[in-house]
Each structure stands twice: as C-alpha cells, then as structure tokens.
Chain A
Amino acid sequence: MKQWWRTYSAWGTVTILIVTASCYEEIGFDTQNLENALIIETIISNENKKQEVLLSRSHGFSDTIMSATPERNAQVFVETDTETIPFEEVEDGVYTSVEPFAAQPNVNYTLRIQTNNGEVYSSTPRQLTTPSSLERLYAEREVGNNGQPVLSIFVDSNAPDNTTNYYRYQFEETYKIVAPKYSRFNLIITDPRWAFCDVELFDKEVNKEICYNTVRNTEVLQISTEGLNTNEVSRFKVRQIDSDNYIIGQRYSIEVKQYTQSSDAYFYFDRLLDFQEQPNTFSQVQPGYLTGNVQSSDSELLTIGFFDVSYVTSQRIFFNYVDFFPDVDIPSQVRFCDVYAPIHYDKYSFPPFEDCGPLILEDLPRDRYLFFEINLDQEFYDDPPFFFPLDGPYDLVPKECGDCTLFGSIEVPEFWVE
C-alpha cells in the first residue's frame, strides 16, 4: 500500500513543481528613445538671488551612470505677465537667472524651456505660495534604533494663515574635518638611484590639516500639516546623524530651507517617492509615468518635475561634537591610522643591498602614504661588519590620515563661525 502512494507522490511532485516553481525569464522591452525624459528641478523662491533651474535627462538602465546627465545649451526663461527673465547656463545643465530676482506675491510665473534640439516645454502659471516661518532649528541627542546615541536635527515651523501647508525642506550641511595625523612636512625622494637612495623633508606648501565639506541633502523631504491639530510643524526631523559619524566629529553646521509648496507639487513628489520604495506584496504601488506641470505640446515628450514658486525661509545652526557627546570618543573619518615605517637601505647599510628598499620603491612613489614623523625608535642589526636597519627611519601614515582634502576643501566657508 505504502509503495503505491510512493509511486503516486512522484507524479504529484512533478505537477506541483511545475505549478509552483514556475520559471522566470528576463524579457526585453524596446525602451529606446523613451528613456529620454527631460528632468526639471527648480524652485523659484522669494529669496533675492540668482534663481536656479537644473535640467537633465533620464537614461537607460544599461548605462552605469551615477549622476544626472545634464541637458546643455537649452534656453530657459521665466515669464511673468510683464517681463521675461532670461537664464544662462553656468555649468553643464545648471541654469541661473542672469540677474538676481525674488518672486513676488500675486504674480504669475511660467517656466519656458527650449532645448538644444528644438523641443519646447512650458509650465502652468504658478504664483508665490503663502508665507510661513521656520521658527526653530535645533539639534538633540537621542537614542537610535540600535541603542546607540544619535544626533537628531528638528524643525519647528509656523504659518500665519490657517490652511494646510505643505513644506519641502532642503538642507546643506557643512562640517569641519581635521586630519588626525598631520605633519607640516612632506617626505620627498631626492635621489632614487641605487646606492644613493636619498630622501628629504620639505615644508608643505598648503596646509591640509583642517578642511570643510558642504553637502546638500539628496532626499526629497516634505511634510504636510494635514492631520495635525495645529497648522504648525513641530519637531519634524530633517536629519539624523549617528554619533560615530565623523561629520559631526568636530564642528558641524546645517542650514535648512523651508519652502512652502503648493499642494500639487507636494502630491507630485509624494507619488514619485512611492516609486522609490521596493514594492512587495503588501505595499503595492501603481506604477506609471507621473505627469508634472511642465509639458511639451508634443505629448510623446515626457518630463519629470514640478515648477513651483515657493515662499522660503531658512535658518542655520552650528554645534560641536563635545556639546552633545562629551562622553563619547570623537569619531574620525579614518578608522585606522597606525604608523608604518618601511625599511630604507641607505648608503650606510652593509652589506649593500641590491635596492633602496620599499620606502623609495613602493610607498612614496605610489602616493599611498604620507610622512608623519621621524621614527625615533628605529632598530638596526649591528654586528660589524654587518649593519642594516630592521625597520624604517620615517613613520608613515595612510594618506587619508594626513590629508584632509580627501574629505573636503581647505577653504573656510564664508558663513563659518568658530
């Protein structure tokens, strides 16, 4: 009896495998020419400055492109009922208004773009959104999900009118970086010939001990006051930084800009953001092309982006690591900065070695290590007539430990306050 079922189960298994372990196969869709959507990133604001419009193109999956493909040589204008404000391309794909201007209330602004290949796009007319104020920008120490301390940066905001508001936040964070094993000297090979093997220390021309780096946020950060009891945004977390992140290790500054968005723009980006989430059974999202408010008369030409004229306010704060984490070791941008003293055979070595040793042959020419200090504890094999070093005369450190420009720029930002 048992035997009979055994035979039968073989049958059943085959069937089930066919049904459940169905086969997967990649299929190709001819998406050529369709990936060429024009991407428009801009928020014209009431801040008096050279307003900015960024134009780029989407790209196919086959390309390993890590940043936007700029759209060059386009003509960009912002039109009002009375004037046309010209823009010029200042960098690839970056267009700024020729003259600074601030968006005024109750004026219709329309974005017009003509690309280099003659495609014409224009936006729906937009007006400056309602004023709001970024009341407070502040940092607090918190405990993160993994139990480790974190630093959170919050925004409180307020709007005079009573309607729902939609805020988009952009921030720029600037942090100081200090090279942990910096030396004011450079070790330079002066005579690499065999039997000479000469190196010398020189003063560095540029001080690369302290740098600053400025980074813009890369998320689309937005919030609506819908569902909140008041029309205020309270403790909206714009940024959370782990306490072991070197960017706050010294001194840190963040400037947060709060744009009052139109609801259209808010929901546009809201849906766009949904696509970023990996779909699974329980968060299914209807995909598709999202129509923004900048369009071409040719409906085949796709665009991504939303032209909005937003009221903006901003604030900047500074703080030091020790203000929040007096009890925690200061994190560094470099994990290991152990010194290393490569062997160097100079003319005093005996018996003469057939080369100058790794310091001259490998470490200095390859630019992987920087001089840190003289190895005062150098050891030798000293058993005349034999005499040769067991380690090197100079302590080297990996380059990132002695050169902050790998992480930032030595220029002090204009707004920086110590």
Chain B
Amino acid sequence: MMKKWLFLWAMVLLPVLISAQETKTITVSFQDEGLKEALLKIESATGLQFYFVDEWLKEKRITANYTETPLEEVLNDLFTDTIINYYILDGDKVILTQNNIIYDQLPEEFFGKEETTDPQPTDQPVGKTVTPIFNTITNTGGNTPMETVRIGKETKGNNASSFTLSGTISDEDGKPLPNVTLVVRNSGLGTTTNASGAYRITLRPGVNRIEIRSLGFRNLQKRIIIYNNGQLDITLEEGLEQLDAVVLEGSAKQNVAEVSTGVTEIDVKEIKNIPLVLGERDILKVATTLPGITTAGEGSSGFNVRGGKEDQNLILLDDGVVYNPTHFFGIFSGINPFTTEDAKIYKGNIPAEYGGRLSSVVDIITKDANTEKFSAEGSIGPVTGSLSVEVPIEKEKGAFLVGGRSTYSNWILRSLDDEALQNSEANFFDVIAKYNHKIGEKDDIKFTGYYSNDAFSITSDSLYSYSNRMASLRWNHEFNENHRGSIAISNSNYQFGIEFDGQSNNDFDLGYDLNETKLKLKMESNVGDNHTLSYGLASKLYNVSPGEIEPINGSSVIPLTIPDEKGWESALFISDDWNVTDEWQLSAGIRYSYFSALGPGSQNIYADGLPRNEATFIESREFADNESIETYGGPEFRLSTRYFLTSDLSVKASFNTTYQYIHTLTNNTTVSPTDTWKLSDLNIKPQEASQYSLGFYKNLNDNMFEISLEGYYKTLDNVLDFKTGAELLLNETIETEVLQGEGRAYGVEFLLRKRKGNLNGWLGYTYSRSEQKFESAFSEETINNGNYFPSNFDKPHDISLVANYKLTKRFSFSANFVYQTGRPVTVPVGNFFINNSEFVLYSERNKFRIPDYYRFDISFNVEGNHKNDKLAHSFWNISIYNVLGRNNPYSVFFVTEEGQVKALQSSIFSIPVPTITYNFKF
C-alpha cells in the first residue's frame, strides 16, 4: 500500500497534466458490488491498473452492465456522488485521488518538505476542456509550514463564483473546538466554528489561503484549492501557552468581521486568571467588565445590559432558560465555569432565533464531554469546592460530563460549637450533567440537566431559599451539506421561598414557583453561494404560581394563594446572512412573536383611560382552562450589516426590535431576593424595545490590538415600574400597583484590547444613560411629574481595566480595576406634618446616587508544568479582592432611630479579601 501511496503522490506532483491519448472501451457488469470490487473487476477484465487507497472506496455499491462502453463513461458512473477524481496515465494506469483526506493523514515531516512546492491541480479529469484552475498562489515565502489541500471534484461546466467549505475543527483528542477562527487571507473574510466545532465558509474557486487560530492551540495555515463545495475536517495541535492571554474573544478577526453589532463572546478557558471574589471563577462577572454590561456591585442579582433591567436578559444554558443563575443573591454566579465551553452575549443585534427578552441574550454552552478518555477538573477554594468529570461511554460517540459545586459553609457552621451559629444556614450548590452522543455522521444528540439551590438565613428567624432546575434535549441533524436542522426541548423551573419561624404567631411559609417548557425547531440552509438562511419556530408554555403564604407552627397568619398564571409564547423566525460583496455583509431577520395569556384565572377589568384602582374596578372576569385571556404579538426586526472600509477596519450598523412577555416585579429598596416574575395579561402589556446601533471596529498591528467604538440608542415602551407607595409582595391586585411607561437608553462604548504579548488585557469605557418616563393625566400614575428620570441602573460612567502580565510561561500577574458611577436611589429627605402626625418626605424617584463604586483586585497565578506524562495539571491562583478596601455599598436602606431617619449602606467586602484557590485537571 505504501508503495502505491508514494507513487500516487509523485503523480500528484507532476508538473504537467497528462491527458488520455486513446479511448478504451470495456465490457463489464456489476451486481451490488462495492467500488473496490468493481475496480478489481475492471482491472482483471482490461489489464488496467488502478491506484487508490482502500478506505476511499467504502460506501458506494454498484449494479450496472456495460458493453463496449468507453472507460471514461464507466468510471464517471462509478465515481458519481463520490469525491473521487481519476486520471488515466499512459493509457493503462488509472490514478484515483481524493484530496481532502489524503493530506490529513500524511506525516507532518512530509509536508514540511513540500512547503515551497506549488502543487498543481492535477486532478482534472482527462480530456476535459474546462478552464483548468492553475495556481496563482503568491507564496509569502515565510517558513510557516503550509499544507495544501484540494477540495471537491472539479465538475464539468461548473463555473460557480464561489464554493462552500465546511467541516469540523477538533483537538487531538477528537473533541470539537468551538470559536476557532478561520480567516481567508486573500479576501479578509472569516468565520468561527460553532459550539460543536463546525464551520462553514464561502471561498472563491481556486486557491485560498486560510488561517486557523484558536487560543491554546498552534496557529495553522492551509492553502486550499477548491473545486467544488466540500468538506474539510481539521485537527489543531495544542499549543504550550495555556497562560497566554486573558482574552474574551476566541477569534482574532471577529471584532472586525462579525456582522452583528454588540456581540461579546467569553472564552471560558481564559477567565481563570482574572481575580474574582473569593477566588471563584465567574463567567457572568467577567462579562460585566466589558462595556455595556454592568451590575450594581457585589450581591446584585443579575446584570444590566445597555440600560436594560435585570429581567431583560435571556439566559440560556444549553437551550434552556435559567431564571436566576446566581448564588448568594448574586455574589457568585450559578454557572459552573469548569463545565462551560462558551458564553456569548448578544447586547446589540440579537439573532432572530432568540426572543422574549428586550436587552440581551446570554447563550451559554456546556462542554461536550470528551469521548476519547476520562478526564476531570476541580478546584478547592475557601468557599466552594468544585469537581467536574468527563466519562466516555462509547468511544468516539458518546460521553458524559458531570460537574458540581458546593459550599462547605453550612457544614462548617453546623459543626462549630458556637450555639448561635447552630441554626444558621448558608448553603448553595449547583450540579450540571450533560450527555452527548453522535449517531452516525449526520446526527448527534445532547442532553443537559442542571440544578442549583440556595438556602440561607439572613436573620435567625427567616430562611430564604431559591432553586433553578433545567433540563434540555437537543438533536442536531445534517440533511446534507447545505441543510442542517436541530430540535431542542427544554424545561425550566425557578422557585423561591421564605420561611419565617420566629416562634411567634405570625410564622409563615411563602412560596413562588415558575415553570416553562420550550420547544424549538431551527433549520439552516445555504441558498446559492452567498446566502445562509436560518428559520424555524419556538414555542413555550409558562406556568406561574405567583405565591402562597401558609401559616406554620399554628400561627395566626391567614393563608393566601395568588391564583396561578399560564401563558403561551410562540415565534416564527427567519433570517438571512447575505454576503452581498466581499466587503459588505448583511444579516436580515424577522421574528414574529405571539403571546397568549391563558386561563384558568380571573382578571380584573378596570375602566378605560383611568388609573387602575378600586375606584375604576368594574368587574372580575373568569376564564376557563386554556381559554385565551388576551393575546399580544408582533413582528420583531433584526437587521445588521457590516462593511469593510479596509481589510482591518469595518463599520457596522444594526436595528433591532424586541418584545417581552414576562416581567419581574422588583424594587431596589430591600435586600432580599423576592423578585417575582409576572406574565403579561389583560392589564399588563408586553414590554417593547427598539435599538439602533452603529460602530467602528479596527484591528491594529496584525490583530494585536482591537479597537471598537459603538454607540446605541434604545427606546423602550411599556416598561414596568411601581407606583409610588405600591405594596410589592403578594399583592392580589398587582396591576393596580404597577405602571407602564416609556424608557430610553443611549450610550457609547469604547473597548481597546491587546490580545497578544506578555502584557495583554483590555480597557473599556462606557458612557451610558438609562431613563424612564411615567406620564399621565392622573397624579397617581405619574412619577416625577412625568419627566424622564434615571432608572435604577443608570450608571453613566463605567470603566474597567483587565490586565494580565506573563512573567514566564508558568507565572503571571493579573489585575483588574472597575469604576462605576453610583446607582440612583430614592432617599428620605425630611419630615412633615399632616394633621399633626409626622410623615417622611421622600425625594423624587431616583433623585440621589449612592457613592461611586470602584474596586481593584490583583492575583498571582502559578501554572503547574506542562509535562504531558504528568498525572494532573495544576493551577494555583492567589488573589486579593478589593485591594483598596473600598467600602462599596451593596444596598442602601433607611432606618428610623429615635425619630430620625438615617441612611445606612451595607457592604459585603469592605476589606481586602485574600484567597488561594487550587485547580487541578487530569
């Protein structure tokens, strides 16, 4: 076989194509025979000699009869629907070629020697008069080893202007690599691999030079001669630079080339160096160091994207929604960084396939487990321990990943002798499991289950708990090269409860429960050469139990249950990614979403055009099970475009509209996480938003630096806020307490990022405003005289600096600095008397701001050595959180002491907090 190989290769390198000189005819018949048998039969019948590799000839089976048929005709028939080309040498030797696999299997040294040779397109069928594709390669002449790969069979008369190349990029273990960038050097176009490592790129016919980059892997360049649509799977070698960079985007050119505005991708592998609170790696916390994403500081559940409320972020974990992905009221995130492959945040242009939230989509993908070998990763920190394990179930096909994290704090509290601490509780854990299985070449299924739970006492008599539960199943299917589809089913549940046990007659147990079940069908088709269509539908059913209160220990609390809510949300979506020209790419999508609030339930009807209150209440209307209470819906537009001004400077613009049918009812006057989600109904309309954004993106110095400047203007409609004086929790007529008004948010985001070198990191600055307006003819429905006022999360200035300095391959320093304007609050400003009794005078809504937030953290990282035969890789992180000891307010509240109202701020980490975390991996 090796002999044939070498010979074949020699043939390939022949500078001149040899055409067949004579026409040979053969007589042969095949009865359901394999290609190889067929060829052997021809060999014995004609004396021809075929040169091939057995593996190429696996799939096809032939049944045919030929009498005095020209050899070429027979061979053409045999090789139809294969990617095998042939040519006839010296009249009696037939050489078969299958370019795309040959080179992958050749030894590396072999290519090293060939690097400067310009291979010829030798695989043109003999005797064809089609313009042959000759190489016009302008070799850089550098000593990068570059492999040449031929794709597809050149077919007669195919004069398409471009071809599609697709495939999978994986590491040496066969694990697919997401977010790997492919850039076509000669055109500047590029793409990245998706979560399952698959990519798809449009190439011009002929020679293309592509560059494949991924952090932690050696860069790879390939010369691709493409004759037709084809497939190329690529294996990347791991680079020895694990500590290379704190980089959030896995792709060098994505900054400039990506068509959407406002997309942020977090490379989960790379966040480990960033110093974080108590040594906990945290994807969502890292996200907040990027422009446009902010939190109110430690302990604020959720985050705000471009002036949007916390509830306006759709957080997807493997297709399923997670409602509250935080632990300990937001001090830690509930997303396990060790099992997460990728997190992508859409804050500008949201793809049409996503919907249901106004401000952003956070798409978190869990790792596909390693199907080749067992591996494990873990960490031991002062607060939590974490372990994740990947177990192959069926080699190359199925594997199972399970990861869990837990605090030991509860156990420790309990085991202490101090009686006061015996009843304390501070406990959280999360566990995630994923099974991925490949069925044949075209199908794979993934199943994910997730559960997180928090329980703790703030005061000795109350126990808070909340939990998220999520399960999703996804099946990907490839119909053919141009059509792919996936179907995903998920179920999510979010619960919280408060148990109040003060040994008094008002002990109670309060519970809230939300459940959603979702089905999503998505198809992707390449249409022509320049269009990629995505289309599908999504549908979900909500079941909400807004709350119940039950007396416990025989208390006198009156049990109360707010009736359940049900809703059905559906959407049809279609979008097209269109390469209009090499420079200009357009992504146009439309999503039609529809929501129906369903019975059973009763809805209060109020007089039109008047404030909703007891006075305008007309009647309570009953709805039967599954009867539609009210429907809402409308088209959502998702338009985005990118134009290359030069090859490393682009301008992008987008316009985006969104609807949101489920809302949180929250205020920022209390500490406790009693946010409840409420579905739109007869009285509460869906929220709407439109966002315009425009940005410029520039890469400098061979992609070493990225600069982006993006501006946006967003208008919101029907945003919810509470009437002043509203009672928030367990209100049976909550519609009388909320207002729906207008909002607007605008800002400019600047990001400078250095990707390479010993010193890397980024600097972001955002100026943004977020305002709301509640105007009405009725004072009850007016806030701040109907003027625009800052929303609870209006933080105009936001600076973050993340820097990583690599001392050696094993030692590095990291630091980050965050500054934010303090958020607005409503404060009591004085007292007054009415009827001789004293009242507190509050300022206008959000008239004041809490002190500015700033924090500086440092960390020192030590990576264990990278010897391959070592049992476990280890990684030490020594960090100091809040080095400056800044007393950043976590919440501000007011107490009355001796008749005087005082504003107090509570801080969680008001002193520098040192931590050591040990991570291991084997």
Contacts and interface: CB of A to CB of B under 8 A. Distances in A.
A302 B905 contact: no
B907 interface: yes
Nearest to A290: B724
Given A9-B412, A56-B832, A286 B669 contact: yes
Contacts of B844: 288-289, 302
Nearest to B613: A267
B383 A15 contact: yes
B668 to A, nearest CB: 10
B162 to A, nearest CB: 57
Nearest to B784: A289
B762 to A, nearest CB: 29
Given A11-B382, A279-B669, A291-B779, A166 B328 contact: no
A274 interface: yes
Given A35-B829, A226-B615, A23 B842 contact: no
A58 B841 CA distance: 7
Given A16-B409, A287-B669, A263 B615 contact: yes
Interface string A208-228: 000000001111100010110
B694 interface: no
Nearest to A32: B829
B117 interface: no
A12 B835 contact: no
Nearest to A9: B412
Given A16-B426, A289-B845, A56 B833 contact: yes
B415 A267 contact: no
B412 A22 contact: no
B906 interface: yes
Given A29-B903, A279-B670, A286 B728 contact: yes
A162 interface: no
A28 B825 CA distance: 13
B836 A67 contact: yes
Contacts of B841: 35, 37, 58, 289, 302, 304
A285 B737 CA distance: 10
Contacts of B449: none
Interface stretch (B81-89, B244-252, B568-576, B888-896): B888-896
Contacts of B828: 61, 287
B830 interface: yes
Contacts of B911: 18
Contacts of A387: none
Contact of B896 (A16, A216, A274, A278): A278
A218 B850 CA distance: 35
B833 A37 contact: no
Contacts of B416: 9, 13
B480 interface: no
A376 interface: no
Given A219-B837, A226-B617, A284 B727 contact: yes
Contacts of B670: 279, 281, 284
B455 to A, nearest CB: 13
B906 A37 contact: no
B382 A284 contact: no
Interface string B359-383: 0000000000000000000000011
Given A219-B835, A286-B667, A289-B784, A58 B415 contact: no
B902 interface: yes
Contacts of B615: 164, 166, 224, 226, 263, 266-267
A288 B790 CA distance: 13
A334 interface: no
A260 to B, nearest CB: 13
Nearest to B458: A20
B722 interface: yes
A37 B840 CA distance: 11
Given A286-B722, A299-B787, A31 B843 contact: yes
Interface in A338-376: none
Interface string A5-40: 100110111011011101111111101001111010
B415 A5 contact: yes
B723 interface: yes
Contacts of A382: none
Contacts of A288: 724-725, 783-784, 826, 842-845
B462 A284 contact: no
A323 B828 CA distance: 47
A8 B412 contact: yes
Interface in B385-412: 408-409, 412
Interface in B413-459: 413, 415-416, 424, 426, 456, 458
A293 interface: yes
A8 B784 CA distance: 53
Contacts of A41: 834-835
Nearest to A164: B615
A34 B158 CA distance: 78
B331 interface: yes
A13 B834 CA distance: 49
A82 interface: no
Contact of B905 (A24, A31, A58, A61): A24
B903 A289 contact: no
A20 B426 contact: yes
A289 B836 contact: no
Contacts of B887: 23, 25
A276 B839 contact: yes
A393 interface: no
A271 interface: yes
B780 interface: yes
B785 interface: yes
Interface string A57-68: 111111011011
Most chain B beta-carbon neighbours within 10 Å: one of A18, A271, A279, A291: A291
Contacts of B500: 282
Question: What are the 5 A-B residue pairs with the smallest beta carbon separation, nearest first?
Answer: A271-B725, A35-B830, A12-B412, A263-B615, A226-B614
Given A299-B784, A305-B834, 20 more contacts: A16-B409, A19-B331, A26-B902, A27-B905, A29-B848, A37-B830, A58-B832, A67-B833, A164-B615, A218-B836, A266-B615, A271-B723, A275-B839, A276-B840, A282-B500, A282-B510, A285-B728, A288-B784, A289-B842, A302-B841
Interface of A: 5, 8-9, 11-13, 15-16, 18-20, 22-29, 31, 34-37, 39, 41, 56-62, 64-65, 67-68, 164, 166, 170, 216-220, 224, 226-227, 263-264, 266-268, 270-272, 274-276, 278-279, 281-293, 295, 299, 302, 304-305
18 contacts: A13-B413, A13-B416, A19-B328, A23-B907, A26-B904, A27-B851, A61-B828, A61-B900, A217-B835, A219-B835, A224-B614, A224-B615, A263-B613, A263-B615, A272-B725, A272-B839, A282-B510, A284-B670
Interface of B: 278, 328, 331, 382-383, 408-409, 412-413, 415-416, 424, 426, 456, 458, 462, 498, 500, 510, 611, 613-617, 667, 669-670, 672, 674, 722-730, 737, 778-780, 782-785, 787, 826-837, 839-845, 847-848, 850-851, 887, 889-890, 892, 896, 899-911, 913
